[in-house]
Amino acid sequence: MYDTFQTDRLIDLWLAEDIGYCDLTAQVMIEPHETGAFVMNAREKLIVAGVDVAVRIFKRYDPSLDVSVHVKDGDTIEKGTIMLTVRGNARSVLTAERTALNIVQRLSGIANLTAEYVAAVAGTRARLIDTRKTTPGLRMLEKHAVTCGGGLNHRLGLDNGVMIKDNHIAVCGGIAKAVERARRQLPVLTKLEVECDRLDQVREALEASVDVIMLDNMSVADMAKAVDMVGGRTKLEASGGISLATIGEIAKTGVDYISTSKINQASSCVDIGLDEAE
């Protein structure tokens, strides 16, 4: 889910960055009124994310272009699948081509890696969630890509919830005092989460009746102890040092959520091309 108004503002920046003064190659190589038909196709198996954004890019640059979408975000498609077809002014299509491909390749790559992590926790109660460690300017769309891959979104921004971390706790003089201070001004429907890296902190956060306790960089053994200690009275989130190699064992401890920045920061762009329609 993303906002189209905000997306169009981003698209304007992307196109301005890529085009500069003009698409010199298109201007000198293609006559003004030449037309063409092109298809965006998957060159590998992938999970689709951002195809509607690609449509908006083409239409934003030239509203006269005719764009037909053949897949939807969240679809798993095979190599060779045609994702969309764009027809119209050839200069316009080729000028907007790279921007459209870049965003779909990036977002689909995130969806692909997210799906791998989701599969690694299948059969457990744990749900995969993302973090705020996103590419500046692309958070809204990268978090959308996470949901396309089956993951969940953590905070969209700093205004989405209260996360009490070690430095907040240090300033306030302890978890209980930090939670008390936060609750004085906390909006009534806003959740409060506390970061803990020791079991005694988990006990203190539990006694303070927080909504979520983050188990930060804890050992698997300590996570399991925390799950037993909490006994379902609040939600537990495991974070720190999460990878495909470790997430399965962590999920078996019984935590509710596992957050990782890897699904954004370690994802690879997928291979997608734009070719002349046959």
Give me the active site residues, please. 98, 133, 165, 195, 216
Q: Which two tokens stand for residue 88?
A: 């119209």
> 274 forms bridges with which residues in the sheet?
40
Q: Where would I find the beta strands (DSSP E) of 93-242?
A: 127-129, 162-164, 192-196, 212-216, 235-239
Whole-number Å distance between alpha carbons of 107 and 143: 9
245 burial (CB, 10 Å; 0-12 / 13-18 / 19+) is exposed
Q: How many contiguous H segments (helices) and E segments (strands) does the chain have?
A: 11, 12
Whole-number Å distance between alpha carbons of 2 and 143: 9
SS3 275: strand
Element (H, E) at 13: helix 4-19
Whole-number Å distance between alpha carbons of 129 and 166: 21
Whole-number Å distance between alpha carbons of 254 and 50: 33
Whole-number Å distance between alpha carbons of 67 and 54: 10
Q: Which alpha helices (H) appear in 62-165, and where do they start and end? A: 90-120, 139-148
Sequence-distant (≥ 6) Cβ neighbours of residue 209 within 8 angstroms: 179, 234
